[in-house]
Amino acid sequence: MSDYPAVAIKGVSKQFKAGITALTGIDLEVQPREFSSLIGPSGCGKSTLLRIIGDLIEPSAGIVEVNGKPAHRARLDHDYGIVFQEAVLYDWRTVSKNIALPLELLRWSREKRAARVRELLGLVELEGFEDHHPWQLSGGMQQRVAIARALSFDPALLLMDEPFGALDEMTRERLNLELLRIWDASGSTIVFVTHSIPEAVFLSTRVVVMSARPGRIAGIVDIDLPQPRTGRTREEPRFFELVTEVRERLVAGGAELEGAA
Amino acid sequence: MSLALVQRRVVDWAPALLVFVLGIAAWQGLVAAFNVQEFLLPKPTVIGQTFWDERVSLWHAGIYTFKEALGGFALGSGLAIVVALVFAAFRPLGTAFMPFAVAANAVPIIAFAPIMNDWFGLLNPFSKMAIAAVLCFFPVLVNTLRGLTSVDPRAIELMHSYAAGRTSVFRRVRIPASLPHLFAGLKIASVLSMIGAIVGEYFGGPTTALGVTILNASAYSNFPVAWAGIVLASAFGILFYGAVALAERLSTSWDPSRRDFHAE
């Protein structure tokens, strides 16, 4: 592992052309191997911040470094993989070929690609589906393909933008556990955007709470739940304490929560 | 194909087949019952007999005209695809030219047929190909360009995250994503190319051409031959459309919008 933080954000702000200030004065460091969640009310700029880390959007001010290099360089070096809320699979490619797409761009040989795809299919438990097309898969399976694709070139950093937001509760909880297993197996750093408080607490080592527009960091909650997390973790008193703490930070940051007084 | 699938196909097509048979029977019956003159509308049996008697000359005429249509289709569609790629790659160019392409799409291009005959020569098959090509060009251009440019922005964003270059985005995302649109254009063009060739021949062409055969047969009151020619022209048009539709099926079987419901 490098001596640099996985992500270093210094004084980042973002104004869109329409005059909307999405983010202001963001300072944040994510250490290697950390699982950080960004949580906040809709419109707080958490997805924008994730895209700035990925150099998919330019910040209006401030510096972003990934693995000790400018975000732009890091993108060109394939330092991160990204997963969106929708799987964004390429319909004309089979499961295998979707997973192998980044490897094609990296000019891996056919044999190396095939071996890596087999490994990843095992990791996301999709053996037997390699020749299926995306339309033949359920939403949860599609998202697992998207995760395998993001992990294919073994990036040090995984950026995830509400990856389970469109899934039903049961699928979501199962994929939460799978993601933790993958995180453990791959040794990567994860920055995870969500609007679900229990999900953020369950998955993360650290929850970054953001305030409503313009987005600022309203507080950081360290999640000291024991590893590895299991289905039982959600039933521990400490889990509920931390959920409450994150919720209170959200309210203090100006989020209007239903039933919050 | 499994037996169950064959059965389903038969059931699917049975109503259309029934309508066809009843339609022909009604045509035959009505023409006989009301004693309709042959120059107005011949009986299907007479057209069928003529078709058989004249099969050699009709077939040669049909092939001659179909070759013109095919040539025009290839020329017009090929050029349209190249132009669509250029417009998609250099957006300002597309913005400047597309309004004219859309406007031209509404022009009755067939009106240019006599001019084309004048330019390239009445007996030169290229004059008919040129008409068919111009007819094919605009629908293929408009549809293909729409396909190339209306790609899900997140699909492009994902390619940026992999640091993929422009060529790679075109090859791996824009072009495959545009295939359903391209085929929508090609299907329209397949029908238009046959129309273009036949109508072009109505303005003059060699006697070996199907359009000229139909025109001359009508002029000399040989209506069963004219009708047989029309039937053959229709058959070529339908077969050509079917071939393009088959190519579409084979190359875009992955397209979710072509599915009625999702699998298990």
Please check whether residue B160 touches A, CB under 8 A: yes
Q: Tell me if A92 and B252 make a contact (CB, 8 A cut-off).
A: yes
Tell if the CB–CB gap between B254 and A76 is shorter than 8 Å.
Answer: no
User: What pTM does this model have?
Assistant: 0.83
**pLDDT over threshold 80, residue A259:** no
Å between A177 CA and nearest CA of chain B? 24
Q: Which residues of B touch A75 (CB under 8 A)?
A: 160-161, 163
- The mean pLDDT of B144-173, rounded to a whole number, is 92
Find the CB nearest B161 among A54, A134, A136: A54
Tens-digit pLDDT profile for residues A215-245: 888 889 999 888 888 888 888 899 899 999 9
User: What mean pLDDT value characterizes chain A?
Assistant: 88
Cβ-nearest to B161 among A56, A90, A136: A56
> Does the predicted interface ipTM exceed a cut of 0.90?
no
Nearest to A45 by CA among A242, A208, A189: A208
Tell whether the model's pLDDT for residue A111 goes beyond 50: yes
Per-residue pLDDT reduced to its tens digit, A142-179: 998 998 999 899 898 999 999 888 888 888 888 898 88
Give the pLDDT band of residue B68 (cuts 50, 70, 90): very high
Instruction: Look at the alpha carbons of A35, A37, A38, A42 in this order and tell me if their dihedral is positive or negative.
Output: positive
Segments of chain A assigned E as strands: 7-15, 21-30, 35-39, 61-66, 69-70, 80-83, 157-161, 189-194, 206-210, 217-222
Nearest by CB to residue A91, choosing from B160, B163, B255, is B255
Give A185 to chain B, closest Cα distance, Å. 22
Residue B262: which of A91, A105, A135 has the nearest Cβ? A135
pLDDT tens track for A115-126? 999 988 988 888
Mean pLDDT of A95-121: 92
A133–B contact, CB cutoff 8 A: yes
Distance from CA of A76 to the nearest CA of B (A): 5
Q: Helix H segments across chain B? A: 3-33, 44-53, 55-89, 91-105, 113-120, 125-149, 153-161, 166-169, 175-202, 210-219, 223-251
State the pLDDT at residue B105: 78
B11 touches A: beta carbon within 8 Å: no
